[in-house]
């Protein structure tokens, strides 16, 4: 099984007005993807859809609170999850998200950022251990 990788399909991510017409016009139906919601330029929420990014954004509970969004279409739910994790950790303190992104349904895929933090912490703890 090929290991999924973080993909940056849309190299020029530009904040767009978070309006239904913009979402309908730019995002095809039935694609997995990751998104970032912003309010007055400040990142507020990061999320993803494993099945239909367009539907997720059109029905998002924060649609009235966010005024901009940034998105990236991904080739698989695993890629969307990895990108969501990367954005979540990078923007953590600014986001309303309080819970780490969930793994895609029926898949066991560790967060690469958490995995690295655990390895680094363990290495630090082992190197500081008295001999």
Amino acid 76: pLDDT:
93
* Amino acid 126: pLDDT: 60
Number of domains in the chain: 1
pLDDT at res. 93: 83
Q: Is residue 11 part of a domain?
A: no
> For residue 54, what is the domain's CATH number?
3.40.1440.10
Asked if the structure places residue 4 within a domain, the reply is: no
Looking at the domain assignment, is residue 9 inside a domain? no
DSSP 63-117: TTT--EEEEEE-SSHHHHHHHHHHHHHHHGGG-S--SPPPPPTT-----HHHHHH
- Residue span of the structural domain in which 96 resides: 16-127
The model carries a pTM of 0.79
Between CA 86 and CA 88 the distance in angstroms is 5
Flag whether 3 is in a domain. no
The residue to which tokens 């082992």 are assigned = 126
pLDDT given at position 105: 86
pLDDT in tens, the chain (131 residues): 555 554 444 545 789 999 999 999 999 999 999 999 999 999 999 999 999 999 999 999 998 889 999 999 999 999 999 999 999 999 988 899 989 999 998 878 888 888 876 666 656 666 665 55
pLDDT of 72: 93
User: Residue 60's pLDDT is what?
Assistant: 96
């Amino acid at each position: 099984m090929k290991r999924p990788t973080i993909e940056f399909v849309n190299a020029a991510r530009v904040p767009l007005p978070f309006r239904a017409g913009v979402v309908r016009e730019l995002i095809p139906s039935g694609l997995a993807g990751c998104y970032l919601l912003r309010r007055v330029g400040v990142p507020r929420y990061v999320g993803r859809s494993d099945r239909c990014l367009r539907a997720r954004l059109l029905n998002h509970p924060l649609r009235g609170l966010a005024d901009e969004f940034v998105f990236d279409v991904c080739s698989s739910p695993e890629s969307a999850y990895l990108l969501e994790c990367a954005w979540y950790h990078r923007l953590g303190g600014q986001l309303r998200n309080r819970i780490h992104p969930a793994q895609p349904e029926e898949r066991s895929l560790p967060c690469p950022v958490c995995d690295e933090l655990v390895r680094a912490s363990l290495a630090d703890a082992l190197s500081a251990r008295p001999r």
